[in-house]
Structure 1
């Protein structure tokens, strides 16, 4: 008898668990063996026995959690046999080192865990790769029709236009330390900003790692001594701390897909909302399901009900996983 998908991968309180391989994917609590899709801290937690991930994700976890973040680690370098399944890692286009994980059993459906993914070109990581599968597990962070993300280079152009309009006001951009900050810097460079960019100290280690990986970010200076730098990047939490008071009359900006919702921008006191996301928007989510044409779709962390309804209307078997604990990168 061919195993059902639930016999190969199933949701548990600790996260997705693969019984024939005896491992979890992006577990929510310490487990004996974890496969990690990417380095954001809602997916990559410390304290596991053994961790398998891309080499870059392992490096990022060490930067964020210390070299002893797991008892042992293994870099994913190709198809690997674990128990009764073969696993392989494929680029997700989300952040540096991010991967989709394909589980291929000896018999039964191939299950693709997408983690977080983005199909918009991103100069700071490998592009998303389509992977044939029978069951596709998709995120639904922006799983509602309202979320249509604009061209990120156009949004970077809006930032530079604001800097030209208000030359005497420093522009502070809130951006997550892993992925968004480096992408924002790369977009500003692509839009024509060649001057030094000041960065909050919390961004420095991961910016240094991106540069070491061959990703050019141009001249960066510490925000503690910005000199003449008029563009400053910081984690969003800095906007609610005394740190921000060192800047006179700043233009507060925030780079996030959530800036589509103007009420969120207003509630944060954001003057310049920049709709720049490292997740798939509604058109990309639905296009990906159509293109992969899986036999079944499982939906997790996000607007599950909206994407579930779309699948129902398009006669695509789907189910919500109702996993809790996955959110945007904590601030």
Structure 2
């Protein structure tokens, strides 16, 4: 009954989160010295841009009723490989091309295991992510932190500098949001993603190639993660392959679920990712200004994620078919 009121009355999760973001933003602006300064707002936008790009890739998979826990490994290893190859004399195009092919291969592997071997995406992408991170750390790189080589300075603008005061990393997030938005809402395959997440059985009966669509979702997710990795590497002038061991993947899931993309599939879009990214970025930025410890910030993330999942279960309840699907 509650889910019906929330969904039909227009008081959906996206609007709730938008109001919550505005309330917290105004509160921080009044209470926290320096929060509303231009420098801090630019720092906030620059900090959340990579997280937002990752959220866009995760959104496609979650809309299709899955999850991709290998995204951080796909962010780190292919982009670090690009930096390594460029440092060894490969040209920009060959280095980026090889890194992109590795990311695509990761997505194809995830997709085949989920769509054809029918292994739940939670376990598939977790195993693939751990494997990719392990291969990168012991087999591909001499050091855990790979520096940005001068040979790639021609494309360093994707994460450095600004355009009329707006950081290029934020513009990269904006461009990615536009592209993903067009794909989801204006293309046939984007509609297939929604259909496969909303009702896989009916989708299959209509003749839509469900398994190739599932593979496509993970390939796109991996390509988006690779793009996010290049933006991050350019902005920080290096790629720390140990990033896989951090809590980033939970932040990505938090952005998607908190923004209102239902774990039951078939719902949500780019706007949900944007507002989820802004809310999480604002909360974490405020906690940093207040000198809250990293451990306490993780506790806050965990509590917010729990609340988001509970809200999702109320607003987007799973039906019997979804519960039996074993999708995530």
Q: TM-score, normalised by structure 2?
A: 0.23
Q: Highest relative contact order (Cα 8 Å, sep 6+), 1 or 2? A: 2
More strand by share: 1
